[in-house]
Amino acid sequence: MNKPLRKVAVAGMLLLVILIINVNYIQGSQADKLQTDPLNSRQFAQQWEHNRGPIMAGKVTLAYSEKIGGKDGKEYQRHYNQGTLYSPITGYVSVFSRTGLESAENGLLDGTDKRLALHNWFDMLVGKKAAGATVQTTIDPDAQQAAYSGIKNQTIRRGGAVAIDVKTGAILAMASFPSYDTNDVAVHDGEKANKVFESLNKQKPAPMLNYATRETFAPGSSFKIIDSAAAIESGQYNKDTPTDANRLLLPESGQELHNSDGDEAKCNGSPPLIDSFAASCNSTFGRLALTLKQQTLENMAAKFGFNKPTEIENGVSSATSVYPTKPLGGDSLARSGIGQEVVTASPLQMAMVAQTVANGGKMMKPYLVKRVVAQDQSELVTAEPKQIGQPISADTAGQIQEMMRAVVDHGTASAVLAGRDIAGKTGTAETGIGGINEDWFVGFAPRDNPKVAFAVVTEGPAGSSGAKFSAPIAWRIVQAVH
């Protein structure tokens, strides 16, 4: 072989080797990534070919597949049990997209995940078609029902509620209103699905938005938990430190920061921090924000998870709760101390704040998947609780727990919850939009050995309050938890 031909042959061999390596790379390490790429529309067309495994909450089946033997590979229909109630958890599968756990656990649900390869091989040997795994969630069905019914019946517009296991971070309830029926979008007919999506997208408020995790609200006085944490951690305060609860004139405008969402009769003189917290004195916490300065509050909020999204499961994360990082004027800084104007938080975020306080200062990662099992009941995934931070010391957490108990004993929630085995912080944020208030109750139960942390927000008319509108919902949720 002459020299030029030899060069061509070597080059050809090199190209062939590169091609083989590239094909193996794509089919091997990149296969899953390419299959689930949002731009790959074939994944949605092919999903009806798979016998997707069920999604469960305890003994309740939230989602399952039915063999219908349709044409063009559409062999299975996905069904949702009480789709409106569980839509924030399951999400949906449609001809256009996947959301929620249907997306996060797609490979395990449709049987294509590598962890199911051996199981699928045995099924093929005996002539069975591969089936997906079962995803067991952390959701408590009774708590979920209590949360959804509560916010649906109480809000005049939107609402969200989250309950979390204090020790593990497992999400026990995640309810959102308004909602939608996931069965309406999980249809094979693309034209029909498109009409449903168009109709849902035109509705206001948006029913497909998860108000428990994907929307933020002004937290109002529930943010005083974070103010108090920053104050006590600074070493300048403890729960018994006298505070100035007298009338506060804002430093720039000279306007008064009213105690409208607290017990105004108790907001004067020099009550200890615990009593100012229980009575929700805006004057105290506006001054506290001005004294501590923006950076201190910003740092504490960041330790609790503000200013970054929280991942719940793979590809399922929260909206970002915000404490401002740009310099604030004096008026805005004071208002930030009462959780208004420039501060926003999701119910999930505030439930995590309560969980941290109830857990001695240890913040746990929230999660929805308890375990995943194959058809033969072998476990493929088992949740492992994970601590993701320690925003405050155990001593600070203990003091704030006592302060949250005082809210129920003789503070803003006493008229509704006094004598109940629960602790928390009320919040009422005036939005200035159509006279709507955003009403919160954030806390934990039982009072002395916390097991469940929660956050509930509803929207009420002018004059509504977190104590009246959201606290009763929280009580029903913790009563329902098994």
pTM of the model: 0.90
What is the reported pLDDT for 204?
A: 96
Q: Which helix (H) or strand (E) holds 424?
A: strand 423-430
Q: Whose structure tokens read 């208002």?
A: 335
Calculate the CA 343 to chain-centre distance: 17
Domain boundaries, the chain: 159-178+209-371+385-480
Q: Which two tokens stand for residue 177?
A: 């209103």
Cα 75 to chain center, whole Å?
34
Enumerate the H helices of 106-249 as residue ranges. 106-110, 117-125, 141-154, 190-202, 224-233
The pair of structure tokens assigned to 272 is 């200890």
The dihedral formed by the CA atoms of 193, 198, 203 and 204, expressed in degrees to the nearest 10:
120
Q: What is the pLDDT of residue 119?
A: 65
Question: What pLDDT tens digit does each residue of the chain (482 aa) get?
Answer: 566 666 666 666 766 656 665 555 555 554 444 444 444 344 455 777 878 999 999 999 999 999 987 777 688 999 999 999 999 999 999 999 999 999 999 999 999 888 887 666 556 555 566 689 999 999 999 999 999 999 999 999 999 999 999 999 999 999 999 999 999 999 999 999 999 999 999 999 999 999 999 999 999 999 999 999 999 999 999 999 999 999 999 999 999 999 865 566 789 999 999 999 999 999 999 999 999 999 999 999 999 999 999 999 999 999 999 999 999 999 999 999 999 989 999 999 999 999 999 999 999 999 999 999 998 888 999 999 999 999 999 999 999 999 999 999 999 999 999 999 999 999 999 887 778 999 999 999 999 999 999 999 999 998 899 999 999 999 999 999 98
Catalytic residue list: 221
How many residues in total does the chain contain?
A: 482
* pLDDT given for residue 259 in this prediction: 86
Fold of 159-178+209-371+385-480: Beta-lactamase (3.40.710)
Burial letters 228-264, b for 16+ CB under 10 A, else e: bbbbbbeeebebeeebbbeebebeeeeeebebebbbb
